[in-house]
Amino acid sequence: MEQDREWETLVSEWVYVPDVASRIGIPDKQVRALIHDRKLLAFRTGPNAAMAVPEAFLVADGDGEEILTSLRGTLTMLGDAGYDELESLRWLFTENDQLGATPIQALRDGRVTTVRRAAQAIDY
């Protein structure tokens, strides 16, 4: 069995991969490629341990939804700092004193520069 599935306690709302594809209007295969390329994080969750993405990664975009555009660069910075997927998720969804919010909430609020500064300050 996979560790303790900590990600399920970090994130309260998940969207399964096929639903992500439908909501952002791209093929399921493309969503999986984004996950594979670490441009999007996904974890196995729920009763069937199906691949899902945190709901917070999706935002309204005029006619529909899209992946939060600032997420990709932030994930790249975290990866460059040596963070794996779980560590990145933990950092994004844990209250950050420097930001006065979780990094994901700060990104959703448009505070990209502040979040990136906080990511650069990670001790690694």
Q: For residue 22, what pLDDT is reported?
A: 95
Q: For residue 1, what pLDDT is reported?
A: 40
Q: For residue 46, what pLDDT is reported?
A: 87
Dihedral angle sign, alpha carbons of residues 51, 93, 65, 41: negative
Q: For residue 2, what pLDDT is reported?
A: 47
From residue 81, give the alpha-carbon distance in Å to each of 68, 72, 95, 104.
Answer: 21, 14, 19, 17
Dihedrals phi, psi of 65, to nearest 5 degrees: -135, 165
How far apart CA 24 and CA 34 sit, in angstroms, is: 13
Q: For residue 121, what pLDDT is reported?
A: 83
Q: For residue 4, what pLDDT is reported?
A: 72
Q: For residue 13, what pLDDT is reported?
A: 95
Question: Tens-digit pLDDT profile for the chain (124 aa)?
Answer: 445 788 888 999 999 999 999 999 999 999 999 999 999 999 999 888 999 999 999 999 888 899 999 999 999 999 999 999 999 999 999 999 999 999 999 999 999 999 999 988 876 5
With helix as H, strand as E and coil as C, how does the chain read? CCCCCCHHHHCCCEEEHHHHHHHHCCCHHHHHHHHHCCCCCCEEECCCCEEEEEHHHEEEECCEEEECHHHHHHHHHHHHCCCCHHHHHHHHCCCECCCCECHHHHHHCCCHHHHHHHHHCCCC
pTM: 0.91
